[in-house]
């Protein structure tokens, strides 16, 4: 299939799924066990890292998501081939990888496409990547990515909406981020993997997904120390090689199902998770009155009929994740009292508020703070998803709303949740996807 055919196929798929709706009949407590898929946010940068060294890579526990498909489609433009096998296995062949540009019509659909910048610059000495798009809310400037590449010795310019970077040879340096950035940390890790000398990233992101990327680079032959801490050092190698990896569990998907269980007064086990990655989420659930039991690879929650109110402030890992803010807003909309949610990561990530209000939630927003007064019940209504996590929040709210809730524009869901309606059905929810 040609690149143009691939893009046309992706656009037609999005156009079709964009008309889909998810219908929920609320009022059922969730019970049972649900298997958590591999992490989207770990998979995406690891896939781009295959550009660093030619060969055939084998990945397991890869989620079947729209964002993963988009990344693979982007990589085909660089000569990278891929095929899926049974059981979530993905084989990626970068043997014939070559340099070209990452075009706007693909990059605009997914901000994580900017992850190709570091590997392309490291492998080919040149990269031309469109400024990213993605979810409609909030600016996510790429200046940290650009300044980091410049500090490694690259000449970087913005030309007609593209980041154009060139470097005869990257050299290690000390890079200190003003703010902790997952994307910039990942991009700099990959760029520094082949740079001469040592690179030190200060105020590096500590997220498990960045740690997973770093471990993968180590398995390729890079020397990385300090993963999971704010100070990461990388000693570049010109002899990186093929490696395999199993994707870590998706902590946001796990958190979403745990929140759904808590919201419905349910009893649910999330299987195939790493509880260490869920600390801040589990702490808040316990503070809300939820019973939490964790083993090495599973978390079980049992919830009371009514939750206690909370104060939630998002923060970089290990703080409370901004990607769980919307789901907890749905949860707290029926808690017994007044809650506050402060999002310190993205100050305008509240597009779901108006839709939750349509369901009867009592929420007031001032700046980056949402004041949530719990109500006795929500009432089903037609609502529209505005981004990935807002989609999940509206589905969660629909699980407890009386009557029927219809969530439109659910193509956002397919970017980050694998078969969420089927998994919720398995827990007893009355939910179905209605195709246009």
- pTM exceeds 0.85, yes or no: yes
| Long-range interactions of 358-367: CB distance < 8 A, separation 24+ | 358/382, 358/383, 359/333, 359/383, 359/394, 359/397, 359/398, 359/401, 359/405, 360/401, 361/329, 361/330, 361/333, 361/397, 362/333, 363/329, 363/333
In the set 34, 90, 135, 310, the catalytic residue is 135
Contact in structure between 393 and 378 (CB atoms under 8 Å): no
Q: Picking from 93-107, 131-145, 258-272, which range would have the lowest pLDDT averaged per residue?
A: 131-145
pLDDT tens figures, 325-377: 999 999 999 999 999 999 999 877 899 999 999 999 999 999 999 999 999 99
* Residues 345-381: b if buried by 16+ CB within 10 A, e if exposed: bbeebbbbbebbebbbbebeeeebebebebeeebebb
Alpha helix ranges (H) inside 172-324: 182-192, 208-219, 251-263, 279-287
What DSSP string runs through 249-269?
Answer: B-HHHHHHHHHHHHHTT-EEE
Contact in structure between 210 and 237 (CB atoms under 8 Å): no
The predicted structure's pLDDT at residue 436: 67
The predicted structure's pLDDT at residue 19: 82
- Band (pLDDT 50/70/90 cuts) for residue 8 is very low
The predicted structure's pLDDT at residue 347: 73
Q: Nearest-CA neighbor of 241 among 432, 95, 90, 430?
A: 95
* Residues 314-326: b if buried by 16+ CB within 10 A, e if exposed: bebbeebbbbbbb
The predicted structure's pLDDT at residue 136: 40
State the DSSP code for 426: H
The predicted structure's pLDDT at residue 59: 98
pLDDT tens figures, 38-83: 999 999 999 999 999 999 999 999 999 999 999 999 999 999 999 9
The predicted structure's pLDDT at residue 137: 34
- CA 278-281-287 angle, to 5 degrees, is 135
State the DSSP code for 309: P
- Residue 86 pLDDT more than 90? no
Distances in Å between the Cα of 401 and the Cα atoms of 24, 324, 331 are 9, 20, 11
The token pair at 117 is: 């910048």
Domains defined for the chain, CATH in brackets: 3-37+249-434 (3.65.10.10), 40-246 (3.65.10.10)
- Band (pLDDT 50/70/90 cuts) for residue 18 is low
The predicted structure's pLDDT at residue 346: 81
Q: Nearest-CA neighbor of 258 among 410, 249, 88?
A: 249
Distance of alpha carbon 375 from alpha carbon 361, whole angstroms: 7
- Residue 119 pLDDT more than 70? yes
Distances in Å between the Cα of 350 and the Cα atoms of 168, 218, 379, 386 are 44, 38, 20, 10
Distance of alpha carbon 317 from alpha carbon 185, whole angstroms: 13
**In 10 A of CB 229, how many CB atoms?**
10
Q: Which residues, at least 6 apart from 276, have a Cβ–Cβ distance to it below 8 Å?
A: none
Distance of alpha carbon 200 from alpha carbon 132, whole angstroms: 26
Averaged pLDDT, 220-233: 98
- CA 323-327-332 angle, to 5 degrees, is 130
- Band (pLDDT 50/70/90 cuts) for residue 312 is very high
Averaged pLDDT, 392-407: 98
The predicted structure's pLDDT at residue 33: 98
pLDDT tens figures, 416-435: 999 999 999 999 999 999 98
Q: Across the strands, what pairs with 404? A: 25
Contact in structure between 249 and 256 (CB atoms under 8 Å): no
- Round to the nearest angstrom and report the end-to-end CA distance of the chain: 27
Phi-psi region of 226 (alpha: psi -120 to 50; beta: other; left: phi over 0): left
Q: Picking from 11-25, 71-85, 99-113, which range would have the lowest pLDDT averaged per residue?
A: 11-25
pLDDT tens figures, 165-200: 999 999 999 999 999 999 999 999 999 999 999 999
- Residue 206 is among the residues annotated as catalytic for this protein: no
Task: Determine if the peptide bond prior to 161 is cis (ω within 30°).
Answer: no
Averaged pLDDT, 309-320: 97
Distance of alpha carbon 107 from alpha carbon 368, whole angstroms: 28
- Residue 305 pLDDT more than 80? yes
Residues composing the chain: 436
- Band (pLDDT 50/70/90 cuts) for residue 16 is very low
- Residue 162 pLDDT more than 80? yes
Distance of alpha carbon 136 from alpha carbon 67, whole angstroms: 15
Averaged pLDDT, 245-272: 98
The owner of tokens 């890869």 is 62
């Amino acid at each position: 299939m040609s690149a143009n055919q691939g893009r046309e196929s992706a656009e037609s798929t999005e156009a079709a799924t964009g008309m889909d709706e998810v219908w929920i009949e609320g009022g059922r407590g969730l019970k049972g066990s649900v298997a958590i898929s591999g992490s989207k946010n770990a998979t995406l940068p690891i896939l781009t890292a295959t550009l660093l060294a030619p060969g055939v890579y084998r990945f397991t526990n890869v989620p079947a998501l729209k964002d993963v498909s988009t990344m693979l489609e982007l990589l085909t433009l660089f000569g990278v081939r891929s095929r899926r096998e049974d059981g979530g296995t993905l084989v990626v062949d970068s043997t014939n990888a070559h340099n070209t540009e990452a075009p706007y019509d693909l990059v605009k659909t997914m901000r994580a496409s900017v992850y190709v910048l570091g590997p392309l610059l490291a492998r080919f000495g040149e990269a031309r990547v469109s400024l990213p798009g993605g979810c409609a809310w909030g600016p996510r400037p790429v200046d940290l990515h650009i300044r980091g590449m410049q500090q490694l010795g690259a000449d970087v310019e913005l030309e007609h909406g593209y980041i154009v970077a060139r470097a005869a040879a990257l050299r290690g340096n000390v890079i200190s981020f003003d703010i902790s950035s997952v994307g910039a940390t990942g991009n700099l890790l990959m760029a520094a993997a082949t740079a001469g000398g040592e690179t030190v990233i200060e105020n590096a992101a500590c997220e498990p997904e960045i740690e997973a990327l770093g471990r993968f680079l180590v398995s390729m032959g890079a020397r990385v120390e300090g993963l999971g801490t704010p100070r990461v050092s990388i000693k570049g190698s010109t002899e990186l090689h093929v490696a395999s990896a199993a994707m870590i569990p998706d902590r946001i998907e796990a958190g979403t199902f745990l929140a759904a269980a808590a919201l419905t007064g349910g009893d649910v086990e999330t299987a195939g998770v790493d509880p260490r990655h869920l600390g801040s989420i589990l702490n808040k659930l316990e503070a809300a009155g939820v019973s939490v039991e964790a083993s090495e690879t599973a978390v079980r929650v049992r919830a009371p009929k009514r939750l206690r109110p909370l104060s939630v402030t998002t923060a970089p890992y290990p703080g409370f994740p901004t990607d769980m803010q919307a789901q907890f807003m749905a949860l707290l909309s029926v808690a017994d009292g007044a809650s506050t949610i402060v999002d310190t990561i993205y100050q305008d990530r509240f597009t779901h508020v108006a839709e939750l209000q349509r369901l009867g939630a009592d929420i007031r927003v001032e700046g980056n703070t949402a004041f949530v007064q719990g109500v006795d019940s929500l009432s089903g209504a037609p609502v529209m998803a505005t981004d990935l996590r807002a989609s999940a929040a509206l589905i969660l709210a629909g699980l407890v709303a009386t009557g029927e809730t219809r969530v439109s524009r659910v193509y956002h869901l397919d970017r980050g949740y694998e078969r969420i309606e089927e998994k919720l059905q398995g827990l007893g929810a009355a939910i179905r996807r209605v195709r246009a």
